[in-house]
Amino acid sequence: MDLAKTNEIIVLGLGNIMCGDDGVGIIAAERLEKENIPGIRVVPAGIDPGAILSTLWQAERLLVLDCIQAGGQPGNLHRLNITDLVPEEEPFSLHQVSLASYLEKLGTKGPKEMVILGIEPLNLTWGKAMSSEVRKSLPRLLELAKKEIKKMKEKSLSTL
């Protein structure tokens, strides 16, 4: 695997499809991939630490799709920037490492531009299906993702 920086916009899908709403990032990433949007690469990494770390290493411009627990109503959409993330004190297992902790380890080698889009989950139970609240919000998440991709492309063109 080539770990050189890429000029593509990378869309990173996070989560666990076996845990209800936690899989929304993967499902959203896979749906975007089917649209064949030029200039992006989709990585449905799930909870694979190797895939997450290598993607963070390669990306200059990154769009992360995930479920985000922020204390809001299930189905609410959230948008965060790289500066909004705070590393956890001490995650207890490799699969529980936060995105902020990965970025902290990478330091200046991580992405220069990053946006995180997510949906507030209702159900994170193992073996359960995605809730109707999250399922109903998925089309809006995809529309927001496409708008963010367009903004990143326009920003990239303006810096040439």
Domain assignments of the chain as residue spans, ordered by start: 6-158
pLDDT tens digits along 43-74 = 988 887 778 777 877 888 889 999 988 889 99
At position 125, the amino acid (one-letter code) is T
Nearest to 73 by CA among 28, 121, 141: 121
Parallel, antiparallel or unpaired: strands 40-46 and 6-14:
parallel
Q: What is the pLDDT of residue 47?
A: 83
User: How confident is residue 109, by pLDDT bands cut at 50, 70 and 90?
Assistant: low
Residue 30 has pLDDT above 80, yes or no: yes
* Banded pLDDT at 99 (limits 50, 70, 90): low
Is domain 6-158 given the CATH code 3.40.50.1450 in the classification? yes
E strand or H helix that includes residue 108: none
User: 68 vs 4, 93, 101, 134, CA distance in Å?
Assistant: 29, 19, 16, 11
